[in-house]
Amino acid sequence: MPNKTIDFSDFEKKTKIIFKDKKILRQSFTHRSYINENAGTKLSHNERLEFLGDAVLELIVTDFLYKKYPTYAEGELTSLRSALVNAIIISEVAFDIGMNDYLLLSKGEQKDTGKARQYILANTYEAYVGAVYLDQGIEVVEDFLNKTLFLKTEEIVKKKLWRDAKSLVQEKAQEFVNVTPAYKVISESGPDHDKHFTIGIYFAKNLIAEGKGKSKQEAEQKAAENALKVKNWLD
């Protein structure tokens, strides 16, 4: 479907949020690349709305977590908030509610469905939050977040996804087996601009799990997550 034919009324019906200002709704879905490719358009890209939406999102999420988890310390709440509003979780939510079908992108960006699209979706979600705040007010934003993002909270808490996997596995390994985990590169492949790493996590000399990623840091995190599953330390 060409960008210019996108009908946002379908998205309004889906979210049950009918905008008074249709231009600001369209702007929230407009990526900078689309403006660059369509210089004559009267549209603006969504980066200012994203800036606003990020702040609105942080305030509402903070308020929600503060009330929901009255026994959590400040550090725990901060970590939980970071897990809830990170790009991976937000992009999943954005995709689940169909935002991917309404993005206004350049032809080049339309072809990229990997990590770049993930970040575009997360940024669009934040821009949309900013647009809803301006057009409808903070209570409507709260209702929208309740129906979309906050549904992820229980899973994050139950699986301890709010904890950094490497920190958690180190804490558990020292507690239960009295060792500090070590990470070693098992293999790497691909050209410099598209490397793929496989990294093992070891307790002493024992390989516990492996993780794959496009950077050593990403592969280490995956290895740590897999070790937590192998050792049944997530509950």
User: Has 225 been annotated as catalytic?
Assistant: no
Catalytic member of 54, 142, 143, 218? 54
Q: What DSSP letter does each residue of the chain carry, written as one string?
A: --GGG--THHHHHHHT---S-HHHHHHHTB-HHHHHH-TT-----SHHHHHHHHHHHHHHHHHHHHHH-TT--HHHHHHHHHHHTSHHHHHHHHHHTTGGGG-B--HHHHH--SHHHHHHHHHHHHHHHHHHHHHH-HHHHHHHHHHTGGGGHHHHHHTTTTS-HHHHHHHHHHHHT----EEEEEEEES-GGG-EEEEEEEETTEEEEEEEESSHHHHHHHHHHHHHHHTT---
Catalytic member of 50, 109, 126, 225? 126
Query: How far apart (Å, rounded) are the C-alpha atoms in residues 49 and 52?
Result: 5
User: Has 126 been annotated as catalytic?
Assistant: yes
Q: Which residues are identified as catalytic?
A: 54, 126
